[in-house]
Copies of this chain bind each other. A is one copy, B any other.
Amino acid sequence: MGKAQEPVSSVENAGGGRAADDLFRHYAEMITSGVLGEGDPLPPEREIVETHGVSRTVVREAVLALANKGLVDARPRFRPVVRKPSFDTAFETVDNVVARLLIQPGGVKNLFDTRIMIEAALVRQAATDAKKDDIAALKTALEANKAAIEDSELFYRTDTGFHAVLYQMPRNPILPAVHKAYTTWLAPQWSKMPRLPDRNRANFEAHAEIYQGILMRDQDAAEAALRAHLANAWNQVRETFGDI
């Protein structure tokens, strides 16, 4: 074959985009439309080269893009497999950008404010909608939290666990993913803070108050307790890091 440059690609090239982009869109479409389902492997790179009439460079860049966007899972020497879509992976793929946004002035505060807003909404909802099982799960988490007051490491995990229950209650898969994102992105601040049994005890008391509000079906009380709890947490952050 000649040198190059004749647009041999069989993929849509109308957009005038780069060949790699077109190939990316081609497979992204195959995946989104379900032609390629979860767990299905992509064809070998050399096969795509033939079927699409492009160089391996282009194929690799396209596959790379699919992997970077979280559509496929590419491990060395294995065919890339279509990834199970989840909101968790969605948050993972933006980790780098978010990291940049958080180091900016007010970045962490902005994120934390949305957390307050969402958790306030969650506890209000819990106060009206919580089923018996939900209350039980919350109580279990609360008791685990209480038992961990002397062990700051364990307390941190049970603390997270208590809040996690709130995110699970609406049974909306988006919410636990949001919670995971919060804990991941706010961890740098949170984990570096001094943790003492006294602090733990105060936080446990706050959790208990939230639980009580939900148990009593008192939306306003539950929300107030939660806002006080998170506002206090933020103050602790500010004491440790100053204005960020």
Q: Which residues of A contact B (CB under 8 A)?
A: 18, 20, 28, 31-32, 34, 57, 60-61, 64-65, 68-71, 76, 85-87, 89-91, 93-94, 96-101, 103-104, 110-111, 113-114, 117-118, 120-122, 125, 170, 172-175, 178
Show 29 residue pairs from A and B whose CB-CB distance is below 8 angstroms, ordered by the A residue. Answer: A18-B76, A20-B64, A28-B96, A31-B100, A32-B103, A34-B103, A57-B60, A61-B61, A61-B64, A64-B64, A64-B68, A68-B68, A69-B93, A69-B97, A70-B96, A70-B97, A71-B96, A85-B97, A85-B100, A85-B101, A86-B101, A89-B97, A90-B94, A90-B98, A93-B97, A114-B174, A118-B118, A118-B121, A121-B121
Our pick among B94, B104, B111, B122 for the contact of A94 (Cβ within 8 Å) is: B94
User: Are B110 and A117 in contact (CB-based, < 8 A)?
Assistant: no
Q: In the complex, which residues of chain B have a beta carbon less than 8 angstroms from the beta carbon of A120?
A: 121
Q: In the complex, which residues of chain B have a beta carbon less than 8 angstroms from the beta carbon of A98?
A: 90
Expressed in whole angstroms, the minimum distance between the Cβ of A13 and any Cβ of chain B is 14
Interface of A is mostly: helix
Q: Which of A34, A110, A118 has the most CB of B within 10 A?
A: A110
User: Are B70 and A69 in contact (CB-based, < 8 A)?
Assistant: no
Q: In the complex, which residues of chain B have a beta carbon less than 8 angstroms from the beta carbon of A34?
A: 103
Q: In the complex, which residues of chain B have a beta carbon less than 8 angstroms from the beta carbon of A97?
A: 69-71, 85, 89-90, 93
Copies of this chain held together in the complex: 2
Assembly CA distance A172 to B64 (angstroms): 34
Q: In the complex, which residues of chain B have a beta carbon less than 8 angstroms from the beta carbon of A170?
A: 113, 117
Q: In the complex, which residues of chain B have a beta carbon less than 8 angstroms from the beta carbon of A28?
A: 96
Assembly CA distance A103 to B35 (angstroms): 13
Q: A-B pairs with the 10 shortest C-beta distances?
A: A68-B68, A85-B100, A121-B121, A90-B94, A90-B97, A117-B121, A69-B96, A70-B97, A110-B172, A85-B101
Assembly CA distance A121 to B64 (angstroms): 40
Q: In the complex, which residues of chain B have a beta carbon less than 8 angstroms from the beta carbon of A57?
A: 57, 60
Beyond the given pairs A20-B64, A68-B69, A110-B172, 16 more chain A to chain B contacts, judged by CB atoms under 8 angstroms and listed by A's residue number, are A31-B100, A32-B99, A57-B57, A61-B61, A64-B68, A70-B94, A85-B101, A87-B101, A91-B94, A93-B97, A94-B94, A110-B173, A110-B174, A113-B172, A114-B175, A117-B118
Query: Nearest chain-B residue to A34 (Cβ)?
Result: B103
